[in-house]
Every structure is written in structure tokens, then in C-alpha cells.
Amino acid sequence: MTSCIPEIELKAHAKVNLTLEVLGRRPDGYHNLRSVIVPISLADSVTLHRAPGGEIGLAVSTESWIKAERLGPGALNLAVRVACLMQQRYSVRQGVFIRIHKRIPIGGGMGGGSADAAAVIRGLNKLWNLNQSLAELSSFGADLGSDIPALVTGGAVVIEGRGECVTPLFAPEVASAVEPIWLVVANPGVMCSTAQIFAKWRADLTNAPEMVNNIRLHIQRADVRAVADTLYNGLEQTVFSACPEVAKAAALLRNAGCPGVLLSGSGASVFGLVRSEAHGEMVSRKLPAGLWHRVVRTCPVV
């Protein structure tokens, strides 16, 4: 059956890692991780238009502060790769024209490219009337990027393995009642290579499943101070040593009054928890104009 939907508009939410444990090296050279990932209100816009003859096209626009040269060639864009592979995997003859407007820092540890890819996966499932389950779409995304399964699933999740094992942090009836937490995200304008960070990483392994349980309880209670005390990223010191600009951005957030500050993913973005939107605006005013930053909230449900 051919879908009659001509166009779909989606939000591709950025994410932050509230915890990130490195559990050990895998036989394939990657590392097993465990991380609590929460989407935030900062989002790219993704629009999918049906295209004839199996054609796949892409147009990307950006906010003025984003360095467009970091996007790379369109043929290598993760959203285009997703569309091509979905055509092959699900034997689709239809095409799509993808429009993306970027607001998420590129290479910033907030899942920008993966968020766009996840939105395309969810959107094409509807546009092309594929009727694939969320579990199947998440599994498909795992072959393309470690953050994609979490962002396809949506909401606050725990990821394990390379990211292919995704578990919602809350049951649906609980998630809908969870209050958002406000934070200030900042990016110093540098890019951190995930591969290079892991190559330099020499910290101790962690294996503390109680960390997930604790942060789940603190988020459910909207206890910002307790969440701040539970934040953890096993890559943080490696990134701070390799990229002093990232360490400086984190220090600026702490000095501006954030009760908890953490690196997101492998960087280069950092975030600071705040007590409220008003507190976030107050922190924002204390940050230098040259440092990109935004006041955002978590989205336990997407």
C-alpha cells in the first residue's frame, strides 16, 4: 500500500548524558557503555517530502552561528544514508526529499546528526507506510550510530552495549508525570573526535548500576540538587585534558551558579543544571557573549 501522506514535519531533539559509564573494551575494539540519556528541548527541524522515482534529495540550512563547512558532503549525510538503507532494507521504490534546519551544535556530544537520522527513520516509517515496530526501527538505527537507537525510542532511556540496548528510564504512566529539569547547555565552538577521545582514555572502568537507579529516583522527584550530585561522565577528564576550551566552558557554568555541571557524551558540549527557567536565564546572563549557550529543559517524554 502506498502512503498518501505527502509531507511530514518532525523535531529532532538533542540529548544530554546524565551518566556515562565505560564498562570495558569489546572484542570489536569499541567500548561497552551504560548511560542515562535524556532528550532536551533544543531541536533541529526535519521535513520529509515524498519524491518520485526513488530519488533521495537533501537541503540543509543552519542557524547563523553554526559553521556550515562542518556538515560535509550531502551524500555522506547520515540522514541521506538512513533513507538509502531504508529503501534497500524494506524494498521501497518511493523517494524522499529531506529538509533539515540545524540548531544543534555539530560534533558537540548532543547527538545532532544522530537526532536528524532518528527523525528520518521515524518519519519515513510513516511517509512510506512501512508499519515497522519501534523495536525494529531502533535495531535498524543501531547499525548506523550509537546514539540513534536511544533517539529513535525517544524519552529518557538507559543505553547499554554500544548503544543498541535501550531501556526506557520510566514506565509510560510514570514518564508522562515527570517534571522537566532546566539546564543551560554551552558549546565552546570546538569539535571532539569520539574515536580520538576513546584512544586517549586511560581512566578506570566503572560498573555502578545503582547510579542509574539513583538518578531515576531523583528525576522522578524533580530533585535538582540530588540529580546534580549523581551526574557522572567517565570520559570527562580525558576530554578536559585534550580540549582545554571544554574545561573552561564547564568552569564558566560552575562559576555562574549551576549546582551540577557535566560533559555531554564525548564533548564538546557541557551543561549545567539549574533550579528553574528563571535561574537558567540568570546563569545565561553571566556567561560571556562569545560562548554559545542556551537555556533548555529535559523532555522525559517525546
pLDDT at 3: 46
Span 174-297 CATH architecture: 2-Layer Sandwich (3.30)
Band of residue 126 on the pLDDT scale cut at 50, 70, 90: very high
Angle at Cα 108 formed by Cα 104 and Cα 111, nearest 5°?
65
- What is the arithmetic mean of pLDDT over 179-204? 86
- Where do runs of H (alpha helix) occur along 69-223? 78-89, 112-127, 134-142, 148-153, 172-175, 194-200, 210-220
Q: In percent, how much of the chain has pLDDT > 70? A: 96
pLDDT at 4: 63
Mark whether 116 is an active-site residue: no
Positive or negative: CA dihedral 148, 152, 153, 154: positive
- Topology given in CATH for the domain delimited by 7-170: Ribosomal Protein S5; domain 2 (3.30.230)
Whole-model pTM: value is 0.93
Query: Comparing 51-55, 178-182, 196-200, 286-290, which segment has the lowest mean pLDDT?
Result: 196-200
Q: Which of 44, 102, 116, 147 is catalytic?
A: 147
Task: Determine whether 3 is exposed, middle or buried from the number of CB atoms within 10 Å of its CB (0-12, 13-18, 19+).
Answer: middle
Return the SS3 of 8: strand
Q: Which of 11, 15, 116, 126 is catalytic?
A: 15
Encode pLDDT of 59-106 as tens digits. 999 998 887 777 777 767 999 999 999 999 999 999 999 999 999 998
pLDDT at 2: 47
Q: Domain locations in the chain? A: 7-170, 174-297
Band of residue 107 on the pLDDT scale cut at 50, 70, 90: confident
DSSP strand pairing (270-273 vs 260-263): antiparallel
| The pLDDT of residue 302 is above 80 | no
Mark whether 147 is an active-site residue: yes
pLDDT at 205: 65
Closest CA to 273 of 38, 57, 34: 38
The highest-confidence range among 1-5, 179-183, 206-210, by mean pLDDT, is 179-183
Positive or negative: CA dihedral 287, 290, 291, 293: positive
Q: In percent, how much of the chain has pLDDT > 90? A: 78
- What is the arithmetic mean of pLDDT over 171-200? 89
